[in-house]
Amino acid sequence: MRGSKRSPTAPKRPEAGFSFIEILVALVLFSALGLVLWSGLGSGQALVRKTSQRATYALKILQLDNGLRQALGRLRVPFWVPAEAAVRQERGRLVMSWLDGDPDKTLTLQLRGDRIRIGEAGAEGFFGPFPGARLGLFRDEEGRPLGVEVTIAGGGEPTRILARFGSTPL
């Protein structure tokens, strides 16, 4: 009979499977790989969180920039009015007259804590928080005010926003 029985002199084949040492080595390799992946996921999450915070901060700065430009674009100072007469700088706030061409309407920019308030009578908007923000006027070479300068010191290098007054330069 062919192939039905083995001859007693033929060597025995080892049983199929893995030894205990091989299984331990595989477990050590898989656990090391798991630790590397886990630490990579943790640092990836930290990077995503940091990027998200930077994007939120940049969005707040863009909203402030847009709000400043819209508000200051409404200032219409006639050419015969001296620039210094249209703008008053008080403690932490700027008061500008000639809103919408009316000398009695004013626009106010103010620092309240770490927020910036842009407002007129009956309407105001708050932007921020911007810790360490400063408000001021930016001027031409002759010292006449041309607009508002906001300096925000947070997040490394300071950010400067320059917004020019309305249609007629002061």
Q: Domain residue spans in the chain? A: 53-164
Q: Tokens 């009695």 label which residue?
A: 104
Report the C-alpha gap between 84 and 87 in whole angstroms.
6
Q: Cα–Cα distance between 86 and 97 in angstroms, integer?
A: 5
Enter the DSSP assignment of 11. P
154 versus 94: the higher-pLDDT residue is 94
Range of lowest pLDDT (15-19, 33-37, 148-152, 162-166): 15-19
Residue 107 — pLDDT band, cuts 50, 70, 90? Answer: very high
Q: What does the alpha-carbon distance between residue 80 and residue 22 come to, in Å, rounded to a whole number?
A: 93
Tokens, residue 140: 């031409």
How does residue 118 score in pLDDT terms, banded at 50, 70 and 90?
A: very high
Determine the pLDDT at residue 168.
46
Q: Is residue 129 scored above 60 in pLDDT?
A: yes
